[in-house]
Amino acid sequence: MPRAVSRAISRGVAGTLSARAAGVALGLALGIVLSFMAVSPVRAANWWEKTFWMSGPRYDRVMPACDYPPALDRIIANFRTKEFGFWNSDLRIVGVENIKETAVMPWAAQSIPRRFCSGTAVISDGQKHPMYYSIAEDTGMIGMDWGVNFCVEGIDRNWAYNPACRAARP
């Protein structure tokens, strides 16, 4: 192998090693800096952060009523999807009776505004079951509109709101 070629090869190898060493050193330095930042004392947000970066959600407290047809349609559709898709069942909600509001915003002032409702779900097998649901502001698709959470007592198969749909109530 000619002498010039072997010198070029050795310089390339040395250049690669020095670049690798520089990368390791940079990573080590970054790790040390981040570890010092992790152990720095916690401080409250300053005026700038509170004003521009930590504004948080602004709720208008605008939620549909308990008997709002699109809300009930969403409950009926979600119940059908859950029963058919997850439990291989043909049960459907064919109607909702005795709808009443049980509470509005029962928690702290800064919590998500919710309207709690109850009613009787008429199921396709002819039985009637108590149903509890809440309509909450900004909990729909990507937080753009209202959303609905519901539980039909006796048909909460995965026990998400157990016992007896208690977790779906205020």
Give the model's pLDDT for residue 91.
Answer: 96
Task: Kindly state whether residues 89 and 148 are assigned to the same domain.
Answer: yes
Give the model's pLDDT for residue 24.
Answer: 85
Does residue 81 belong to any structural domain of this protein?
yes
Q: In b/e form, how buried is each residue of 53-90, taking b as 16+ CB within 10 angstroms?
A: eeeeeeeeeebbebebeebbebbbeebbebbeeeeeee
Per-residue pLDDT of the chain (170 residues; tens, 9 = 90+): 555 545 545 555 445 557 788 888 888 888 787 776 666 666 776 776 666 666 667 777 888 999 999 999 999 999 999 999 999 999 999 999 999 999 988 777 778 899 999 999 999 999 999 999 999 988 888 878 899 999 999 999 989 998 999 999 98
CA distance 161 to 100: 20
Does residue 62 belong to any structural domain of this protein?
no
Does residue 58 belong to any structural domain of this protein?
no
Q: Which domain holds residue 125?
A: 69-168
Give the model's pLDDT for residue 105.
Answer: 82
Domain count, the chain: 2
| Tokens encoding 120 | 């009787």
CA distance 55 to 76: 36
